Amino acid sequence: MNRVFVTGMGVVSPIGLGSEAFETSLRQGKSGVALLTNFDASRHAVKIAAEVKNFDPSMAIPKKDVRRHDRYSQFSMVAAKEAIEEAKLSVDQFDPHRIGVIVATGIGGIHSYETEYEVMAKSGPNRVSPFLVPMMICNIASGYITMAYGFKGPSFSVVSACASGLHAIGESFLKLSFGLVDVMVCGGTESAVTSLTVAGFSQMKALSTRNNEPERASRPFDRDRDGFVMGEGAGIFVLETEESMQRRGVKPLAEIVGYGASADAHHLTAPDPEGEGARFAMGQALSMNKVPLERVDYVNAHGTSTPIGDPAECNAIKKTFGLHASKLVVNSTKSMIGHLLGAAGAVGVAATIRQMRGGFVHPTVNLENPGEGCDLDFVPQKAREQRISYGMVNSFGFGGQNASILVKNI
């Protein structure tokens, strides 16, 4: 099997545009959660979210074409541009059929769906945009990247709820490992902070209602957590084989060394409380390159801030790592950026790589009193200077879909 390296990375997040700004905010423990501005939330029980601020899609999309993109694909184009530029990647360096794209999303173009449905209800079907369907479908983010850069390899989307972004990276890793391609542009993107989706998650009782303290609402592993906070953003990567990287003379940011995926087969939305599916995914990621579990020193947890999900993940981590679990450093990036749904895992990988390269571990903010069963080292409140050798990134989605990626420092 080929070794697989990360050579470029791009981030759009509620706490920073670009991976450097993202890292700075991670170090500071900055929260991106605030009162909603994307729509009038006065009639909603939930009035908070982690929105991307000051976003300019024309950074990567010609101004005349911006209106043809839903916000979720705008995010992916901007993040992809950063990743491709950092990797110094050009289609001229390859057979274009050897460069593929897998960009995941959990929900897709929901902004366009809601907007154009209102147009039809008000003005009739003849006023609906002819771009509605391509703006709405989940694969269009991958498609736009291929068209912008001339990549002609495998191109599609992965849709597995909140595990989508990690599945996209994992499936890209497998294609590279088996020599099916030389380069993959991959990751996750999501912009689903809309009136309808917030209402839907709220009716499920999945969201925090701490409207009077937005920055304190996302509190993974804390006793007083009351649900997750919706977020939006994108994390896109350039992955390539060792041979490709060396031929081009580019330097790696990190190495992907393991990927695991599983299903809970348990419940529509709740995880297996014992964390068996998550444990299996983490075990697969460890065994792929036979990495001893004692060499893993960090876990970027799924850690959504839900009463059921957080202890289930703790159970999974403890079952996977045994006595070594007490020596792990664990944190939740969602404590600052909320839950980015289909982009969550990809942005978790970005956070892991930035921490590896920066020699620190970001805090799990708002963790004041650990909840029952949440007894790992979660780095509460304040960042810690520490070297990470191997980091595990977890993502778990509705439908019981689990993914884990193992990243090695270089």
What's the CATH code of the domain at 393?
3.40.47.10
Quick check: is 314 catalytic? no
Q: Are residues 265 and 375 in the same domain?
A: yes
CA distance 174 to 289: 12
pLDDT at 305: 98
Q: Are residues 142 and 192 in the same domain?
A: yes
pLDDT at 130: 96
**Is-contact 172 189, C-beta < 8 A?**
no
- Rounded to two decimals, what is the model's pTM? 0.97
Q: Are residues 125 and 147 in the same domain?
A: yes
Q: Are residues 315 and 391 in the same domain?
A: yes
Q: Are residues 221 and 266 in the same domain?
A: no
Amino acid sitting at position 236: I
pLDDT at 108: 98
Quick check: is 267 catalytic? no
The rounded radius of gyration (Å) of the Cα atoms in the chain is 20
Residue closest to 76 by CA, chosen among 218, 224, 187: 187
For 197, the enclosing helix (H) or strand (E) is: helix 195-203
Q: Within a 10 A sphere around the Cβ of 202, how many other Cβ atoms?
A: 18
Q: Select from 203, 226, 248 the last residue of a domain.
A: 248
Give the position of tokens 């980091």. 391
Q: Select from 226, 248, 270 the last residue of a domain.
A: 248
Asked whether residue 293 is domain-assigned, the answer is: yes
pLDDT at 206: 97
Q: Are residues 352 and 318 in the same domain?
A: yes
What's the gap between Cα 61 and its chain centre? 22
Asked whether residue 253 is domain-assigned, the answer is: no
Q: Are residues 161 and 72 in the same domain?
A: yes
Using CA atoms in the order 214, 346, 90, 247, what is the torsion angle rounded to 10 degrees?
Answer: 140
CA distance 404 to 394: 5
Asked whether residue 130 is domain-assigned, the answer is: yes
The boundaries of the domain holding residue 338 are 258-408
**Is-contact 231 303, C-beta < 8 A?**
no
CA distance 347 to 338: 11
Point out the catalytic residue in the list 111, 167, 339, 362.
339
Q: Are residues 149 and 273 in the same domain?
A: no
What's the gap between Cα 238 and its chain centre? 15
pLDDT at 359: 98
Q: Where are the beta strands (DSSP E) in 161-216?
A: 183-190
Residue 372 CB-density burial (10 A; 0-12 exposed, 13-18 middle, 19+ buried): exposed
Backbone angles phi, psi at 100, to 5 degrees: -115, 170
pLDDT at 13: 98
Asked whether residue 270 is domain-assigned, the answer is: yes
Q: Are residues 165 and 108 in the same domain?
A: yes
The string of DSSP codes covering 31-79 is ---EE--SS--TT-S--EEBPPPS--GGGTS-GGGGGGS-HHHHHHHHH
Average pLDDT per consecutive 10 residues, the chain (410 residues; last block may be shorter): 97 98 98 97 98 97 96 98 98 97 98 98 98 98 98 98 98 98 98 98 98 98 98 98 98 98 94 93 97 97 97 98 98 98 98 98 98 97 98 97 98
For 335, the enclosing helix (H) or strand (E) is: helix 334-337
Q: Select from 180, 214, 248 the last residue of a domain.
A: 248
List all residues 6 or more positions away from 61 whose beta carbon is below 8 Å from its beta carbon: 69, 74, 77, 78
Q: Are residues 125 and 240 in the same domain?
A: yes
Alpha helices in 48-163 (DSSP H): 71-86, 110-123, 132-136, 140-149
Quick check: is 138 catalytic? no
Q: Are residues 223 and 302 in the same domain?
A: no
Q: Where are the beta strands (DSSP E) in 343-389?
A: 360-361, 384-385
Asked whether residue 275 is domain-assigned, the answer is: yes
Point out the catalytic residue in the list 69, 111, 138, 162.
162
Point out the catalytic residue in the list 111, 167, 302, 362.
302
Q: Are residues 277 and 222 in the same domain?
A: no
What's the gap between Cα 291 and its chain centre? 24
Domain count, the chain: 2
